[in-house]
């Protein structure tokens, strides 16, 4: 429990964090990796390069300061981050190292403005927050290890099948190398892969949504090949998986994790909206929901550049044909002549409010995932249509961002 004086000092730093937060976190990572390069085996280098990790940490530090009088209110955010930490294998001994360099970065950026009193207050606050993370993550490790087929570290899996789903998405079916059982998962969760790419000094960690229904003797992940684009190089791990990993090869994975999970027992209709590879967690969700509740009212909308990059067409077609209360629509930004003849093609361009209102019930539970620009557009549409936040569920691929 933090005393009143400490909380007051933390609250007084809120304007500074609002202005200098990302500068502090950028400096933090520079200092951390310079002193502990072995931690580069854990952190996603792409998120570092694009600044997403620095922004996410700055937002987390700012939120902690804003809610310092009631740290319990940030517990949902702690749990969300802890899911990622458990998947990555973060351990209690990492927290003192992070705390040490976070305080150094605050001092380095703020200079004399970071008085001994401020540094001590943040040291106390960090200790309380780190303790919360460690406690939550310990429970998650125990849960992952104790459930049937579970494990707590990284486990070897054989690529039993490699299936091309579209021009840019390939599925990998992962079977445990030891032949033993594997733990189940909730639709929407992900696997963390630990990959050693030839020529790279450090291992690469990536988290990929599970795209099949749970309860099978394998896991399936479906990976988009990230090609080079303006201001961004080609995806290191996605291209390695697509080009080099073959059936029979072995990959290391931690147990399924994540807090983006389908609520199976809702009485509301359910609407799924996916953009690009954001369909991967939603494929697990929609298939599971209809298997367990075949009469449920379901609407699925997938947005893509064109039909060539639209994965799982046949699966969605089959669901719409089999279940009478299920509707499926394809929205293509730049459809070909062939795309326009596709029987589920519904709209050229983008999802918009008037069209969504015409095909989906607004009293539904809405699940969506995709590129950040797509997610921001969907969130803006839903709020404009008066959909309550309690009905809105989404997942960021990578560090948590903001859709507001």
pLDDT tens readout for residues 116-134: 999 999 999 999 999 999 9
The phi, psi pair for 62, rounded to 5°, reads -60, -45
The set of catalytic residues is 95, 137
Burial 45-61 (b: 16+ CB within 10 A, else e): bbebeeebbbbbbbbbb
DSSP state of 72: G
pLDDT at position 213: 97
User: Which domains are seen in the chain, by residue range?
Assistant: 4-146 (1.10.490.10), 155-257 (2.40.30.10), 270-395 (3.40.50.80)
Is 206 annotated in a binding site? The answer is: yes
In sequence order, which ranges of 276-330 are alpha helices (DSSP H)? 279-292, 313-322
In sequence order, which ranges of 89-231 are alpha helices (DSSP H)? 94-110, 116-146
Asked if 56 contacts 400 with a C-beta cutoff of 8 angstroms, the reply is yes
Percent helix, percent strand, percent coil in the chain, to nearest 5: 50, 20, 30
Both structure tokens of 68: 């310092």
Integer Cα distance of 64 and 128 in angstroms: 11
pTM of the model: 0.94
Is 172 annotated in a binding site? The answer is: no
On the CB side of 211, CA atoms within 13 Å amount to: 25
Is 126 annotated in a binding site? The answer is: no
Is 141 annotated in a binding site? The answer is: no
Q: Which residue ranges in the chain fall short of pLDDT 50?
A: none
Is 328 annotated in a binding site? The answer is: no
pLDDT at position 19: 93
Integer Cα distance of 266 and 274 in angstroms: 20
pLDDT at position 399: 67
pLDDT at position 294: 97
């Amino acid at each position: 429990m933090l005393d009143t004086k400490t909380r007051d000092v933390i609250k007084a730093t809120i304007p500074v964090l609002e202005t200098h937060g990302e500068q502090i976190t950028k400096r933090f990572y520079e200092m951390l990796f310079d002193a502990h390069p072995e931690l580069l085996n854990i952190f996603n280098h792409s998120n570092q390069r694009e600044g997403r990790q620095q922004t996410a940490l700055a937002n987390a530090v700012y939120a902690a300061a804003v809610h310092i009088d009631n740290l319990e209110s940030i517990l949902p955010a702690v749990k969300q981050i802890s899911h990622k930490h458990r998947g990555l294998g973060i351990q209690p001994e990492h927290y003192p190292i992070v705390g040490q360099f976070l305080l150094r970065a605050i001092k380095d950026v703020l200079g004399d403005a970071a008085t001994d009193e401020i540094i001590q207050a943040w040291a106390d606050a960090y200790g309380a927050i780190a303790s919360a993370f460690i406690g939550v993550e310990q429970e998650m490790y125990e849960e992952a290890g104790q459930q049937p087929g579970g494990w707590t570290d990284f486990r070897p899996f054989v690529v039993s099948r490699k299936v091309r789903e579209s021009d840019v998405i390939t599925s990998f079916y992962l079977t445990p190398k030891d032949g033993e059982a594997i733990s189940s998962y909730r639709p929407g969760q992900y696997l963390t892969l630990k990959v050693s790419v030839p020529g790279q000094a450090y291992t690469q960690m990536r988290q990929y949504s599970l795209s099949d229904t749970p309860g099978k003797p394998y896991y399936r992940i479906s990976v988009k090949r990230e090609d080079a684009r303006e201001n961004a190089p080609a995806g290191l791990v996605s291209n390695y998986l697509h080009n080099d990993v073959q059936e029979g090869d072995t990959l290391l994975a931690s147990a399924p994790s994540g807090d983006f999970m389908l609520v199976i027992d809702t009485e509301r209709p359910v609407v799924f909206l996916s953009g690009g590879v954001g369909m991967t967690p939603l494929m697990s969700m929609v298939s599971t929901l209809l298997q367990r509740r075949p009469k449920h009212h379901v609407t699925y909308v997938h947005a893509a550049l064109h039909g060539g990059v639209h994965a799982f067409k046949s699966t969605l077609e089959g669901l719409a044909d089999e279940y009478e209360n299920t509707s499926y629509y394809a929205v293509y930004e730049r459809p070909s002549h062939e795309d326009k003849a596709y029987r589920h093609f519904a709209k050229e361009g983008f999802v918009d409010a008037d069209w969504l209102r015409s095909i989906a019930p607004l009293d539904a539970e809405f699940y969506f995932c995709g590129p950040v620009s797509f997610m921001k557009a969907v969130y803006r549409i839903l709020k404009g249509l008066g959909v309550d936040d309690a009905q809105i569920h989404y997942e960021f691929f990578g560090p948590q961002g903001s859709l507001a």
